[in-house]
Amino acid sequence: MVSEDLNDTVIGTMDVPEKDQLDRAALDQWMQAHVEGYAGPMDISKFKGGQSNPTYRIDTPDRSYVLRRKPFGELLPSAHAVDREYKVIAGLHPTGFPVAKPYGLCTDDGVVGSMFYIMEMVQGRSLWDGTLPGMTKDERRDIYFALIDTLAELHQTDHEAAGLGDYGKPGNYFERQVGRWTKQYKAAQTDDLPEMDKLIAWLPQTLPSQERTSIVHGDYRIDNVIFAQSEARVAAVLDWELSTLGDPMADVAYLLMNWETESEGRAGLAGVDLESLGIPTMDEMIARYAQKTGRSSIPDLNWYFAFNMFRLAGIVQGIKKRMIDGTASSAHAKETVARMPDLVQSAWMFAQRAGAA
């Protein structure tokens, strides 16, 4: 079972807090003009999970929608680009890749106070606990294979044909990402963390070569997808805020990092008896991905683990800065921020495994 605390803080919806209220009349008018098939009245609630772009559920008499908007208040440069989220969803949906149907993007801050977009509310299962309690061994195995197969499908999608040829620069992905997250971290820095300084120095000097370019999700894990209600099939991949064109190994390592992190009722699987649960090993997931994408091998993942932990630390530092400024979106933000030192230490541990001294 999911812990009571997790149910309270990240799962489901809640009444919209006063600071996150939307202008219902203005939103209703915009949706009447721009969302095909929309008919009010609307009821609005807010999803509990997520610390970045505030996400709302909009219920009408005949259907439900999801609204994603930028946070209110001062934001870091290039962060919270909901227009980029909308662009990738709108590009992928016609290809048959599992994303929510996009309905419209509003760039006028005057409607609800910030840019936002509307998409379909996809029905299905949200799985937060990586151990998948209550399932059989075969069900767990099928869920994880569906997860890695869908990632392989994303990386095999022709981004040019999907109209996403300009969604990011085609090369030097990790060089650009290390630079970006170094800048983001420094812009939001509130503490001195020596291991972070070491990573900022070491990562640019040890960049791996980029063999392929694909759409990269940037935050691909089991709790960022919706599974079909009664089968091991991904119905929709969510939370595209960090997506771009880049090296698909970033996504692979980010997903497989869960085999290296503690469970604690979330996506992590370290210390879990995988065999008894029927959950594939990391090696089985790597082999499955390689087979689906036609790769003969997968490189050593420790550098990629170090990078992803470093990037997470940069993201969490941004959450901490927003929490201090009073604009963090989730009640779960305080707990997330408390993990910052552990993230940085883990990143440096993986860097050492990859040869850092």
pLDDT (tens digit per residue) in 28-69: 999 999 999 999 999 999 988 655 688 999 999 999 999 999
Pair (198, 310) in one structural domain = yes
pLDDT of residue 11: 66
| Residue 5 confidence class, pLDDT cut points 50, 70, 90 | very low
Q: Two tokens at 249?
A: 């190994």
Report the number of distinct structural domains present in the chain.
Answer: 2
Q: Among the three residues 74, 90, 120, which one is the final residue of a domain in this structure?
A: 120
Pair (27, 56) in one structural domain = yes
Q: Mean pLDDT throughout 168-184? A: 92
State the chain's mean pLDDT as an integer. 90
Q: Confirm whether 144 is domain-assigned.
A: yes
CATH of the domain at 265: 3.90.1200.10
Q: Two tokens at 55?
A: 């996400």
Selected residue with higher pLDDT from 107 and 79: 107
Q: Which of these, 252, 267, 338, 337, lies nearest to 301 by C-alpha position? A: 252
Q: Give the rounded percent of residues in the chain with a pLDDT score beyond 70.
A: 92
| Residue 327 confidence class, pLDDT cut points 50, 70, 90 | low
Q: Two tokens at 218?
A: 């940037």
- Cβ–Cβ contacts within 10 Å for residue 191, how many? 10
Pair (148, 186) in one structural domain = yes
| Residue the block writes with tokens 């936002």 | 116
Q: Confirm whether 130 is domain-assigned.
A: no
Q: Mean pLDDT throughout 141-158? A: 98
Q: Are 319 and 336 in contact (CB under 8 A)?
A: yes
Range list of H helices, 80-211? 82-92, 137-156, 173-188, 194-202
78 pLDDT above the threshold of 60: no
Q: Which of these, 53, 54, 65, 151, lies nearest to 100 by C-alpha position? A: 65
* Rounded Cα–Cα distance for residues 346 and 350 (Å): 6
Label the pairing between strands 64-69 and 225-227.
Answer: unpaired
10-14, 60-64, 94-98: least confident range: 10-14
Q: Confirm whether 247 is domain-assigned.
A: yes
175 pLDDT above the threshold of 70: yes
181 pLDDT above the threshold of 90: yes
Q: Among the three residues 65, 88, 120, which one is the final residue of a domain in this structure?
A: 120
* Rounded Cα–Cα distance for residues 298 and 281 (Å): 15
pLDDT (tens digit per residue) in 207-220: 999 999 999 999 99
| Residue 332 confidence class, pLDDT cut points 50, 70, 90 | low
Pair (23, 61) in one structural domain = yes
Pair (229, 333) in one structural domain = yes
CATH of the domain at 81: 3.30.200.20
Its domain, for residue 305, covers: 137-353
Pair (197, 68) in one structural domain = no
| Residue 8 confidence class, pLDDT cut points 50, 70, 90 | very low
6-15, 48-57, 160-169: least confident range: 6-15
| Residue 9 confidence class, pLDDT cut points 50, 70, 90 | very low
